[in-house]
Structure formats: C-alpha cells, structure tokens
Structure 1
Amino acid sequence: MYKYPFAEAVGKRYLDPNSSNRVWAMVFDIDRPQASMAWDDAMLPEPNWTCQNPENSHAHLGYALAVPVSRSINSLRKPQALMARVEHAMSTALGADPAYGHRFTKNPLHPTWRTFYGRGSGYDFEELRSYLPDHLPLIRNRGEAIGEGRNVLLFTDLRNWAYRARLRFPSLDAWLRGCFEKAQAMNSQFHAPLPLSEVKATAKSVAAWTWDHMSPEKFAAIQARRSAKASVLRQSNKMDLTARMLGASI
C-alpha cells in the first residue's frame, strides 16, 4: 500500500476509495459472468458505479454513502456496527467474494476497466436497509466477518479479552506486546486479514484504555461496588419474600 497525491492516485489501476479514518463508499467484488447486474438479480438498489473487467466480465460494485462513517478507534461504535451489518447483508445478497479485503478497488477512471455510472447521489443506511431483511445478522464468527465488520469484531473481541487478561501483565510494555500479539492472532482468523497498521492501532487503543481503567486498585473497587449492589439486592429479595409469606399467613 502506497500513499499518493490525489492527482497521481487517480491514474492508478487500483485505489482505495476511502480515507484512513472515514468510509465514503462500500465496494463489493463479484467474480462471475454478468457481475455488473448482480445488484438487479439480488433486488438491491442500483450502484453508484460498476467497474467491469472486459476480459471476464467480473466487476466491482460501488455504493457511495450520503454521510461517511468514521472508523477511527475513538469513533462511536454504533454507526460502525450498523455499517458492518448492512455491508455483510448486501455482500451475502450479491453473492460477493467473502475474501475480498474491501479496500482496493478497480479505479473507475482508469481505461483498463469498463465503467458504468448509475445513481448520482449517495445512499443512507435506512434506504439500504429497506432492501434487506428486517433483522440483520450480528456476525460473531471471525471466519464470516467481512469489510468493516472485521474492525468492529476485532475491537469488540480484543476489548473483552483485555478486561479479563489485564491483571496478568506486570508492566505496560508487556501489556502492549500482549495486546498486539492477541490482536494479530484474532486478525489471522479473518478470510481477508486487516492491514497491520489497523491491527496495531486497535491493539494500542485497547491496551491504553484497559491499562488506565483496569488497574488492580480500580478492579478491586469495581468488584466491591458490584458486591455491595448484590448484597442490597439479596437483602431486598429476602424482605420481599418475608412480606409475601406474612401476607399469605394472614
């Protein structure tokens, strides 16, 4: 992966339509004849562009978003999770390649490809959801995660692991290495692993937060609060049971 100025990047055969921190478009890789009409076969809305390989008719279908979704490590997780679920459902409906990395795509401006332009404005998720099943699956299996779903799942799984593992590491350096190694192991389970830079950023963010918020002292305080709440709840339940028993005996 190389970064080029815009004027130079648009001359390449392949490029990433999204920036490092924002998703502006979702792209799907269709590896079969008549791929350019896969959206119509799946009863999905028309892509903003279709970039076809003239030699085998395989194609990339691009859907621009009306509002980009931030995917930085500090961004809100709900928009990312919604995008991941919509992207996965659309990929399934299109019969798109699940191993596609959803980063580099055929450049629609390059003469190598045959490009068809469709709708001129971007889509919002509510409109896209109207073409999909009512209940979009929440993907928990790393082997099934695609596109932005990989980022969401890596962050969620690594965070859940870090909550339990934090107290096993005596130093920050050891903890940073431990989180990165665990993130790498999780990433290797995706069909199309995330770039190393994204894995490092996720591991660093999770490690920094859990190191600051899950120290032995803070963990003990959390456990004490939970124990106190549980004690109050048990006492309240006993009082309710006693009241019901007295009421039944009158």
Structure 2
Amino acid sequence: MTAQLDFFRERLPRKPYHTNDLMTGLQIAQLKTAISSRYIQPNGPTHKYWFVFDVDSSTAAIDWYDQGAPAPNFIAANPQNGHAHLFYGLEVPVRTAPDGKLAPLKYAAAIESALRERLGADMGYKGLICKNPLHGFWRVTQYEKEPYTLDWLADYLDLSDHPIKRTEYGLGRNCELFDALSKWARRAIRQGWPKYDQFLQACLDRATGYNAQYFTHNPLPHNELFHTARSVAKWTHAHITQAGFSEWQATQGAKGGKKSKGGGRKTNERSARQSKPWESIGISKATYYRNKQKTTD
C-alpha cells in the first residue's frame, strides 16, 4: 500500500458508514468491518480530511488534467464505465463541527465549490459515501504524493465567483446553517429560558426547517443537523442566561439619561471588543453599540 492510501486509511472515521451496494442502503460498523466494503465514509462529522468529487465521465481519470485542475492524490474509477471519485487530501483538516473557526470553513467551502466546477463534477454528490480505494473492485490511480494545503489548492482556482452563502452544496451548507441557527437561538432562548433538553429539541427542529428551506435539492444529512443543533444549543444555553440578560437590562436602565463626559472612551471600547458582551446577552454587536450610544447621547 502506498503513502496516499495509508494516509486515507489512517484518517477514516472509527465507525464509518459503509455498503457493498448503494441500492441496499448504508450501515454503520467498526472500521475493521467497514473497510472491506466497496463504499465507505471518507470524512467524519467533525473534520474534513478529504475533498471528494464525483465525475461521471468515461475519461474521468484524466479529464482533470485537461481542465487545468490540480492533480488528485488518487482516483478510484469504475472499471466498467470509467466513472470515478477524485480524492484531494488536506494536510491540515478543516474542522466542520460548529465549534470550529468559521473563516477556514468558509475558505474551504469556496475552494470546494470552485474545484467542483473546474472538474465538471456532479453537483448533486453529497460526499457522505465514496468508492473505497482500499477495495480491489475499483481501478485506483495515484498522482500527487503530498496532501494539499488550502492555499495550494486556491492557487489553481479563481475564488471570486464562488461565494459560499446561499449555496446548496458542500461545506457552504454547514456555514449557512450554523449562521442562521446561531442567530435564531440567541433570540429564542429568551422566550421562557427553557431547560437544555427542551432547547436542544427546539434547535434541532429549527435546523431541520432551515435544511428543508435552504437546501431543497441537496439537504444536509440528519447526523450533521444534529451535531450543529447540539453545538449551538449547548453554547447558547451555557452563555446566554436569564441572570446575565437581566443584569444587562438593569445596567442599560441605570444609564438612562446620563451624558457621556468623555475620558476613557477608547479604553472602554477596547475592553468591550475583548469581552464581547453582546454575545453573553444574546444580541448582535451592532445592536449593543446602538443601545450604548442611546445611553450616552
């Protein structure tokens, strides 16, 4: 086994989805069992280790070169029709869990979108399951030996035409769902301050609704919805509390009618930027500063 395929095996989820026949549905098993199947889950729910693209062409194994795309680390092709999955490994995986940093996720989403278009890959391919390059049925061809950085991939692409908002494919969906659900949760928790289990169910219901509303052609799978809803619910329930919100309201009321006399303003603003009080009370940064301005005018 070569370094590229060793790298693939090492990064597989511990209990991946797998199947020998897509028509019979997916199963979950320990890796030692799943790895013998024709199809397997390449990325877990918290990290993106691989960009995988589905190219339905009889010459999929070489089309990437004619399109001026970067060389895949390897390709797993169907020996009967040439259709293939192209694999691009990431040197540093992108954290797709909602507690990860949003900027790298958005950058990766734009790269994924641009590379999919460059390759002429199937827009409807969700990436949950892939041709298992460790299975002998597929014809595996290996190209680039080293895993890619996001910047290295971006050098081949024009990202200006690939905004990640309102996209129904790939990582862009994760970005949009997290943004929308977080904004909703910070307002919703103030409507009665529910217990965690109740609030988690409300977040999951809202995430399911957004999934149906935003991604009609290519919805996120339930496990990704649940991980996003749980992360948003956990953070919001822990950080936006009834006591904290009441304290903020009392502080705002005490400031009513007072005039700002200057002095120390820059220090106070710097402190606010560091502590981000708007997050703990569940309002936007813009609303926080608008309310603050009203109390000092």
TM above 0.5, yes or no, is: yes
2:111 partner SS: helix
Name the counterpart of 1:244.
Answer: none
Aligned to 1:231: 294
Residues 113 and 75 from structure 1, CA distance in 2 versus in 1: closer, same or farther, beyond 3 angstroms? Answer: same
Give the match's secondary structure for 1:168: coil
Q: Hey, what does 2:73 align to over in structure 1?
A: 48
Please give the TM-score of this superposition, normalised by the length of structure 2. Answer: 0.70
Match of residue 177 from structure 1: 201
CA distance in structure 2 between the aligned counterparts of 1:20 and 1:198, rounded to whole angstroms: 6
The separation in 1 between residues aligned to 2:133 and 2:159, in whole angstroms, is 32
For the Cα contact (< 8 Å) 1:30–1:59, is it kept in 2? yes
Note if contact 1:139-1:145 (Cα within 8 Å) is conserved in structure 2.
Answer: no
Which residue in 1 is equivalent to 2:263? none
> Per-residue deviation at 1:210?
2.1
Q: Does 1:204 align with 2:238?
A: no
Separation in 2, partners of 1:98, 1:33 = 18
Change (3 A) 1:119 1:87: same
The 1-side partners of 2:29 and 2:200 are apart by: 31
Indicate how the Cα distance of structure 1 residues 107 and 177 shifts in structure 2: closer, same or farther if over 3 A, else same.
same
- SS of 2:165's partner is coil
| Aligned amino acid, residue 183 of structure 1 | A
- For the structure 1 residues 177 and 7, does the alpha-carbon distance in structure 2 shift closer, same or farther, using more than 3 Å as the test? closer
SS at match of 2:141: strand
Structure 1 distance, partners of 2:291, 2:211, is 39
Whichever residue aligns with residue 187 of structure 1, its letter is: N
- The CA RMSD measured in Å over matched residues stands at 2.4
Distance of 2:193 and 2:47 partners within structure 1: 36
Q: Contact between 1:169 and 1:175, CA under 8 Å: does it hold in 2?
A: no
Quote how far apart the aligned CAs of 1:150 are. Answer: 2.1
Task: Rate the CA distance shift 1:18–1:230 in 2: closer, same or farther, 3 A.
Answer: same
* Aligned residue-pair number: 232
1:1-250 equivalences in 2 (<5 Å): 1=17, 2-135=27-160, 137-141=162-166, 144-172=167-195, 173-188=197-212, 189-190=214-215, 191-219=217-245, 221=248, 224=252, 226=289, 229-231=292-294, 235=297
Distance 2:104 2:161 in 1: 14
Work out the CA distance in 1 between the residues paired with 2:123 and 2:159. 22
- Letter paired with 1:168: Q
Equivalents in 2 of 1:65, 1:98: separation in Å?
21
The letter for the 2-side match of 1:182 is R
Counterparts of 1:230 and 1:88 in 2: how far apart (Å)? 41
Identity %: 34
What's the CA shift for 1:8? 3.0
Deviation >4 Å, runs of 4+? none
Q: CA deviation at 1:232?
A: 6.7
Q: Cα distance, 1:158 vs. partner?
A: 0.8
**Cα distance in 1 for residues equivalent to 2:290 and 2:218:** 43
- Cα distance, 1:83 vs. partner? 1.3
Shift of 1:89: 1.2
Q: For 2:192 and 2:230, how far apart are their aligned partners in 1? A: 15
Q: Which moved more, 1:195-204 or 1:99-108?
A: 195-204
The answer as to whether partners of 1:101 and 1:147 remain within 8 angstroms in 2 is yes
Deviates more, 1:192-201 or 1:176-185: 192-201
Q: How far apart are 1:175 and its partner, in Å?
A: 2.5
Structure 1 residues 84 and 228: alpha-carbon distance in aligned structure 2, compared to 1, 3 A threshold: closer
Unaligned runs of 5+ in 1: 236-250
Q: Determine the C-alpha separation between the residues in 2 that align with 1:232 and 1:155.
A: 32
